[in-house]
Structure 1
Amino acid sequence: MMASKKQQQSRLDAMKPRVKPVDLFSSLKLELSALIVIATAIAFAMCWFLLKFGWSGWIAMPLTLVVALGITYFFSRGITAPLRQMRDVAEAMADGDYTVRVDIDQDRHDEVGKLARSFNEMAGELEHADKMRRDMIANVSHELRTPVSALQAMVENMADGVTEPTPTNLESILTQTQRLSDLIAFLLDLSRMEAGAASLNIEKFNFADFLDETIEPLEIADGGHAHDIRVTVPADITMEGDQDRLRQLFTNIIANALKHSADGTTVLVDAHEDENQGTIVTNVVNFGSQIAPSDRLDIFRRFVKGKTGPGTESGGTGLGLSIARWAAQLHGGTVKVVDDTRGADFEIILPKYHIAER
């Protein structure tokens, strides 16, 4: 495989343009037109010169054509070199090497130059996707192995009579089983995201009651961290949507805030209705911590994990926030991090009425 990559790189290096293309034009058509005009002018001048000095037309004309073709071929290689490179890069990527790029002059602004830069951007995205895929396999393998190993050990101990099936031990088994269930749910949601759509069960419901039902299990799971989830939402707000999908959205956002909050601190869930826009705006504020503006888009990408400290990644699959954004988009809404001096502020904007119903 290493030899193959070296051969591919050598071939790509050999394909780098050694002839400076015509960079005076921003259009490939103009470049080719200029090349044809120049080659024709040189051929005409050469033919006139040869005929003037007594050369036979049967000799002058073929020789002139050969020279014109040679000039055209020589300069056209510089114009079309990126196309040949793109072919070789595509073959390298087909073999699994996503690190290769087309070598293109940044001052080149014709269609070939733009295509080469777009090709490099696509290659970069494919390289990132391949890295995320490999990271996902490693993450999922780790996430599956941990609860499965714990379950296997506990069940074997019970089967051998080493451990008694006490309520505490059974609760531990239930906890590990729930971890597996959550991971499978994440993977199923990921497959739905990849498919680009999901069926929605639209119904009208009270938003305040919905938030209470969503937050209650989070408070129970929070256990000894002593977080205070403060909810401020008018009791009479109603909206239309799929409660299961919206519960994923709010559960993931609020759970993320709890995960990145110090013990004993407060997480604020503040909701209000924007009557002018016909939306419900919810802010989930994690007091104290902040998210750098440069990271605010990346945290919603799949498999990107937040930081719990300097150089330390948080646990989990790195799918929670991407699933939250997907659930919001299914309802025609948005979720983003906004500036807030109090701390990390996730703003969720959802239409009050389902778009398809209006």
Structure 2
Amino acid sequence: MSKQQPKPRLDTVKRRVKPVDFFSSLKLELSALIVVATAIAFAMCWFLLKFGWSGWIAMPLTLIVALGITYFFSRGITAPLRQMRDVAEAMAEGDYTVRVDIDQDRHDEVGQLARSFNAMAGELEHADKMRLDMIANVSHELRTPVSALQAMVENMADGVTEPTPANLESILTQTQRLSDLIAFLLDLSRMEAGAASLNIEQFNFAEFLDETVEPLEIADGGHAHDIHLEVPGNIMVEGDQDRLRQLFTNIIANALKHSADGTTVLIEAHEETDYGTVVTNVVNFGSQIAPADRSNIFRRFVTGKAGPGTESGGTGLGLSIARWAAQLHGGTVRVVDDERGADFEIALPKYHISAS
């Protein structure tokens, strides 16, 4: 998209204390302005009449002065509104970096609106950046397995390689990567549409986690991770097993991805009877997540940084989908402090509660 000549940054204007900064309401500002303008006009009119000026001259001159005072001071009140107009025009042209310059000491409705506008602009800037990152990530994620599949199939078609079990296993692996990416994108579309049809049933939580972990252990391959389960066998939970399997698969797969080869991923669960919830902690030993990043990693298309000996890449959708699946069941997913490593805590009600 072509852009016009960039406007000066709106956040570079020198800040100064204005009279409107002392008021907490736009109504008070306008009332004070009217009172001041009226008082000045009355005093000026009295002064001119006292010194023998004609009323036909004094009155129009007084009105002009009153209008000038009102216009001068009203500019300070409406300045953020004009800036919001300019920022909106810039955003319509594709520039999401501009902001409304607003004094932090201004607490009236216009100041609150300007700060909310800046927050919205920040979210739009983030969404635009994530959209571009998503295009790049999805393109890369699609290109890699498709290129590998094309090369292997062409070699088999040309007789360069034989269709051995190992070669067919490689093709199956690349096909599974494509299938996972398509599933992520479908889940994302459900999130955007708010579609959430749940098949609620009661099931044994320990058995459910065993079934969830088994394919992850097989897919882990040569990374030699040890997935250690500490889950009581008598916990019963209500929920949609398919959606909850998405939740735990994505959280555990994320822990495996960011664990060095040969390390342990601990999954421990306990029941909090006072709150009627089941709390599960998935602990990735060794690595940590900075407190400032703990909420950001659940945003769509945000990919974590891989450490030494860990995998990188990904779509940046797994944790976002995990949180979505938890919220559908009235639960939560968050990162908690744990000296052992990155600890994802999943809290789910034992009995299904609609998230709506």
TM bin, normalised by shorter chain, reads over 0.9
Whole-Å Cα distance in 1 between the matches of residues 172 and 183 of structure 2?
Answer: 16
Q: Is the 8 A contact 1:16 1:85 kept in 2?
A: no
The 5 Å alignment of 1:190-229 reads 190-229=188-227
Q: Is the 8 A contact 2:45 2:58 kept in 1?
A: yes
1:136 aligns with 2:134: yes
CA drift at 1:195: 2.0
Q: Is the 8 A contact 2:102 2:111 kept in 1?
A: yes
CA drift at 1:307: 2.0
Q: Is the 8 A contact 1:226 1:264 kept in 2?
A: yes
SS of residue in 2 equivalent to 1:252 = helix
The 5 Å alignment of 1:137-176 reads 137-176=135-174
Q: Is the 8 A contact 1:239 1:352 kept in 2?
A: yes
Whole-Å Cα distance in 1 between the matches of residues 255 and 64 of structure 2?
Answer: 73
SS of residue in 2 equivalent to 1:353 = coil
Q: What residue is the counterpart of 1:9 in the other structure?
A: 8
CA drift at 1:246: 0.4
Identity %, equivalent residues:
87
CA spacing shift, 1:13–1:291, aligned 2, 3 Å: closer
CA spacing shift, 1:152–1:31, aligned 2, 3 Å: same
Whole-Å Cα distance in 2 between the matches of residues 262 and 18 of structure 1?
Answer: 53
Q: What residue is the counterpart of 1:89 in the other structure?
A: 87
CA spacing shift, 1:13–1:60, aligned 2, 3 Å: farther
CA drift at 1:350: 0.6
Of stretches 342-351 and 135-144 in structure 1, the one that deviates more from structure 2 is 342-351
Q: Which residue identity does 1:165 align to in structure 2?
A: P
SS of residue in 2 equivalent to 1:204 = strand
Alpha-carbon displacement from aligned partner over 1:19-46 (angstroms, at most 9, x marks no partner): 9443222211111111111111111111
SS of residue in 2 equivalent to 1:283 = strand
SS of residue in 1 equivalent to 2:280 = strand
Whole-Å Cα distance in 1 between the matches of residues 17 and 277 of structure 2?
Answer: 59
Q: Is the 8 A contact 2:202 2:237 kept in 1?
A: yes
Q: What residue is the counterpart of 1:117 in the other structure?
A: 115
1:104 aligns with 2:74: no
Whole-Å Cα distance in 1 between the matches of residues 133 and 42 of structure 2?
Answer: 63
Aligned residues: 354
Whole-Å Cα distance in 2 between the matches of residues 63 and 57 of structure 1?
Answer: 10
Whole-Å Cα distance in 2 between the matches of residues 4 and 229 of structure 1?
Answer: 55
Whole-Å Cα distance in 2 between the matches of residues 267 and 352 of structure 1?
Answer: 24
Q: What residue is the counterpart of 1:234 in the other structure?
A: 232
Which residues of structure 2 form unaligned runs of 5+?
Answer: none
Whole-Å Cα distance in 1 between the matches of residues 160 and 190 of structure 2?
Answer: 43
When normalised by structure 1's length, the TM-score is 0.93
Q: Is the 8 A contact 1:278 1:352 kept in 2?
A: yes
SS of residue in 1 equivalent to 2:271 = strand
* Structure 1 runs of 4+ with >3 Å offset: 12-21
Q: What residue is the counterpart of 2:78 in the other structure?
A: 80
Of stretches 193-202 and 91-100 in structure 1, the one that deviates more from structure 2 is 193-202
Q: What residue is the counterpart of 2:322 in the other structure?
A: 324
The 5 Å alignment of 1:246-261 reads 246-261=244-259
Whole-Å Cα distance in 1 between the matches of residues 121 and 348 of structure 2?
Answer: 35
- Cα RMSD of the aligned pairs, angstroms, is 2.3
When normalised by structure 2's length, the TM-score is 0.93
Whole-Å Cα distance in 2 between the matches of residues 288 and 99 of structure 1?
Answer: 37
Alpha-carbon displacement from aligned partner over 1:162-203 (angstroms, at most 9, x marks no partner): 222222222211111111110011111111122234111111
CA drift at 1:292: 2.0
Q: What residue is the counterpart of 1:50 in the other structure?
A: 48
SS of residue in 1 equivalent to 2:306 = strand
Q: Is the 8 A contact 2:11 2:100 kept in 1?
A: no
Whole-Å Cα distance in 2 between the matches of residues 268 and 18 of structure 1?
Answer: 55
Of stretches 106-115 and 75-84 in structure 1, the one that deviates more from structure 2 is 106-115
Whole-Å Cα distance in 2 between the matches of residues 17 and 339 of structure 1?
Answer: 40
Which residues of structure 1 form unaligned runs of 5+?
Answer: none
